[in-house]
Amino acid sequence: MSALRRVLRRIEHDSDLDRVAGPLAELLPAVFRRHPVADVLRGSWLGHPAHPAVVLAPAGIWIASAVLDCLPGQGTAARRLIGVGLLTVPAAVATGLAEYTTLNTSQRRTAVVHVSANTLAACCYLLSHRLRGRDRQWAGRLLGMVGLAAVGLGGLLGGHLSYVQGAGVRG
């Protein structure tokens, strides 16, 4: 077993994560029971979870901003893309939290770390956007790259949730 797989397995079995995962698991079903959009957020209309498709928006947009950061004279365009990516975050969060209500204990532990990585990414991009607006391009680019690394980690954890732990699999 690779070192990365050992780390992912450790996350699944880390009961310390239950301090966050447990209360969230108790709160969210109550919140989503009161909202008729819960089934829409979970992707019932698609036949599978909506979250994996929805998260492509911020991730793809931020990847495009990183490409623009590599091109001369594209800082303004990169900043605009970062802003658009930030506007898509609430949909990714809403679909993810709706899906969280269907997870078992080990999946919730992984999901808490997944949420943490993606929260870090969104915070990095928010700060990057602000710094770029204050003509601090290099600091903004650096935070964008840290944010992109966090997006990658979040994606890795999301993939593990789906493909290894079977989250969202409906049979």
**pLDDT tens digit sequence for 120-141:** 999 999 999 999 999 999 999 9
**CA–CA separation, 122 and 115 (whole Å):** 10
Q: Which of 25-29, 40-44, 152-156, 167-171 is predicted most confidently?
A: 152-156
Pair 112, 96: CB distance under 8 Å:
no
**CA–CA separation, 95 and 37 (whole Å):** 10
Half-sphere exposure of 62 (CA within 13 A, CB side): 31
Q: Within its chain, how far is the Cα of 59 from the centroid?
A: 8
Closest by Cα among 111, 90, 94 to 22: 111
pTM score of the predicted model: 0.93
Pair 51, 88: CB distance under 8 Å:
no
**pLDDT tens digit sequence for 26-84:** 998 888 877 778 889 988 888 889 999 999 999 999 999 999 999 999 999 999 999 99
